[in-house]
Amino acid sequence: AILFIALLIGLGVLFFKSSEGGNTSLAVGGMITAIGCTFLFLFAFIILMAFLGLLRQFFMRVAALENAPVGESFRRGWQMFKSNWKSAALMWLIMLGIGIGYAIAGFILLIILIPVFILTGLAGLIVAAIPGLIAFGIASLFTSGPLAWIIGILAALPFFFLVLGSPLLLIGGWMHIFQSSVWTLTYREFKALGANLPEEIPAAASQ
């Protein structure tokens, strides 16, 4: 990342100097190179984050299910991924497809649930009015004018949006539980395969 930033700074300086010197072709070439390097860096960053996210599924489950320390979780999680990387990558692709389908369905559901959002919005106004009035009353003891109203509104907004978005939070929670359950079952399956592997190898060798 540091080298990439230094490269962009160098290309920026080159672009600036070329523009001042009237060398338009060099300036355009530097700008195109900078844009290309930016897209390349973003692509590599996305791939890296996806890979780390996949490893995280195993690290977390080793720590939670096996009660292992951090270093042991990293070591055993990496070993499990390395032994089953094809199946893990396939499961990641399946979950990616499910996530894309969920995003599309969520957009459609967002339109369908407009009447529900109206009701939760009204309920949110009622719920948010209580902390908002309390914050307004306390703020009125120390200040006056619009500032007290602003403090009351800022105190009420989190409660309002929490109640307003409660249907989406519920559905998102179900999706998160589903994803977590799938990866937990995948982890247990990989663990079972690893436990049975030493018994299968001598049996195959004796035949």
Residue 147 in domain? yes
Are residues 18 and 100 located together in one domain of the fold?
Answer: no
The string of pLDDT tens digits covering residues 43-74 is 888 999 999 999 999 999 999 998 989 899 99
Say if residues 83 and 194 touch (Cβ distance below 8 Å).
yes
Query: Are 88 and 186 within 8 A, CB to CB?
Result: yes
Residues 71 and 107 in one domain: no
Residues 60 and 93 in one domain: no
Q: What residue numbers bound the domain in which 7 lies?
A: 1-83
The answer to which of 16-20, 88-92, 178-182 has the lowest mean pLDDT is 16-20
Given a cut of 90, whether residue 23 has pLDDT beyond it is no
Last residue of a domain, which of 83, 113, 128?
83
Q: What is the pTM of this model?
A: 0.71
